[in-house]
Structure 1
Amino acid sequence: MSRTQYLSIAIFSLTLVVFAVLLQQAGYKNVSFLPCPLCVLQRIGFLGIAISCFLAAGLTSFKKLFHSIALLSAVFGAAIAGKQVWLLSHPESSCGIDPLEVWINQFQLAQALPWLFKADGLCSAKLPAIFGLQVPEWSLLWFCVLLLILTFTFFKKAKTKV
């Protein structure tokens, strides 16, 4: 994968996190989108992809290593988003109290950057759909797209110059 492609993926992933923070701060249709523990973990997945792709673009000698980390971040994020989509379709499974929230909010990152990493919402909360999909469904979609791109480009042979 080229440096430009890595940078594009990194900027796209960061844009998704910025959009999530904007939804949290400004809301949508007069509803505040407070992040739940699974939302915070999805943000970490997108940030993992972004940071890994920035590093792969800058440190070409370690490109495969950082590509692998981005790939693992995409798998992690897709698994977390998939769990939240499942919870949205099975709200009776949630007790309303999420022990993961306490655990996540004790991390230094959540205390240092609460606007980005503090979990305040419920994982099974039905919020207004954006273009027909809930935020976790959009997240799952983008994680799957990024996962496919990163997987196919990981195994693609680099063109050698003659």
Structure 2
Amino acid sequence: MSSARYLYLSLFSLGLVIFAVLLQQTGYRGVSFLPCPLCILQRVGYLGVTIFCFLAVGIAPLRRFFHVLALLSATYGVSVAGRQVWLLSHPETSCGIDPLEVWINQFQLSQGVPWLFKADGLCSAQLPTIFGLQVPEWSLFWFSVLFLILLATLFKKNP
């Protein structure tokens, strides 16, 4: 895959994190979108894709290594987003305060950059849809797209 394509994937993935933070800060249709623990873990997955694709641009000899790490980040994101989509369809399985929330909020990143990494919401909260899908469903879709692109281009030579 070319450097430009890695850069596009990196910027796209970063754009999705920025969109999530904007949604968290401004809300949508008068509803505040507080991130839940699984949302924070998905942000980590998107940031993984962002960082590894960006490193693939800058460090050409290790490009395939960073490609694999970006693919693993997307795989991780698909699994976390898939779990949250499952929780949305089974809200009775989610408890009030998630033990994962306490664990995530104890990390230094959560305390240092709370607007990006602090979990405050419930994983099974039914929030307004955006173009017919809940945010976790969109996240699963975009992680799947990133995964498929990275998988399809894993063994292709650079043009």
Q: C-alpha distance in 1, partners of 2:89/2:140?
A: 14
TM-score normalised to structure 2 length: 0.98
Secondary structure at the counterpart of residue 154 of structure 2:
helix
1:158 Cα deviation after fit:
3.9
Q: C-alpha distance in 2, partners of 1:95/1:9?
A: 35
Identity of aligned residues (%): 70
Equivalent residue number for residue 37 of structure 2 = 37
The unaligned stretches of length 5 or more in structure 1 are none
TM-score normalised to structure 1 length: 0.97
Q: C-alpha distance in 1, partners of 2:47/2:144?
A: 15
| 2:139 maps to 1:139 | yes
1:157 Cα deviation after fit:
3.4
Q: How many residues align?
A: 159
Equivalent residue number for residue 18 of structure 2 = 18
Q: Deviations over 1:13-57 (max 9, x none)?
A: 000000000000000000000000000000000000000000000
Q: Which amino acid aligns with 2:74?
A: A
1:95 Cα deviation after fit:
1.5
1:156 Cα deviation after fit:
1.9
Q: C-alpha distance in 2, partners of 1:152/1:96?
A: 40
Q: C-alpha distance in 2, partners of 1:90/1:45?
A: 23
Q: C-alpha distance in 1, partners of 2:157/2:12?
A: 24
Q: CA RMSD in A?
A: 0.7
1:155 Cα deviation after fit:
1.9
Q: C-alpha distance in 1, partners of 2:69/2:100?
A: 24
Secondary structure at the counterpart of residue 130 of structure 1:
coil
The unaligned stretches of length 5 or more in structure 2 are none
Q: C-alpha distance in 2, partners of 1:100/1:126?
A: 19
Contact 2:2 2:158 in 1 (8 A): no
Equivalent residue number for residue 155 of structure 1 = 155
Q: Deviations over 1:128-157 (max 9, x none)?
A: 000000000000000000000000100223
